[in-house]
């Protein structure tokens, strides 16, 4: 399931919610291609320390971490559907979402 997030300047990013197959198979590369330097470096370093075993952990949590980072950077739900998904998955509260969805 995918959501659309919009920032105050109107830039929209579409992100997947839930399990990340790309992180499981490609490690830090999905974060790198998204421009998420912080998590790309963290996943890379932890992957080296654990000989790649950490990918089994990050594939379950990376999308959540990335979406939380985008929300903290001022992004919010761009659509009502995205808003309801973010609320149902516990990313945001209903009163917060009312300020963003269009």
d(CA 61, CA 65): 6
pLDDT for 94 = 74
Whole-model pTM over 0.95: no
Which whole-number Å values give the CA distances from 66 to 25, 35, 59, 92, 99, in the listed order? 17, 10, 12, 14, 21
Q: What confidence tens digit (pLDDT) does each residue in 13-66 have?
A: 999 999 999 999 999 999 999 999 999 999 999 999 999 999 999 999 999 999
91-100, Cβ contacts within 8 angstroms, sequence gap of 24 or more: 91/64, 91/67, 100/6, 100/76
Q: How confident is the model at residue 9 (pLDDT cuts 50, 70, 90)?
A: very high
Backbone angles phi, psi at 64, to 5 degrees: -65, -45
Backbone angles phi, psi at 40, to 5 degrees: -60, -45
Extended strands (E) in 7-100? 12-16, 76-77
**Confidence check: pLDDT of 4 > 80:** yes
d(CA 97, CA 91): 10
Which whole-number Å values give the CA distances from 79 to 54, 95, 100, in the listed order? 33, 15, 8
């Amino acid at each position: 399931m995918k959501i659309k997030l919009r920032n105050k300047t109107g830039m929209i990013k579409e992100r997947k919610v839930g399990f990340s197959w790309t992180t499981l198979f490609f490690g830090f590369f999905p974060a790198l291609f998204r421009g998420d330097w912080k998590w790309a470096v963290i996943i890379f370093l932890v992957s080296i320390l654990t000989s790649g075993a950490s990918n089994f952990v990050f594939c379950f949590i990376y999308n959540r971490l990335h979406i939380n980072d985008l929300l903290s950077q001022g992004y919010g739900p761009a659509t009502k559907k995205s808003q309801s998904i973010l609320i149902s998955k516990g990313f945001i509260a209903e009163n917060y979402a009312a300020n963003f969805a269009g």
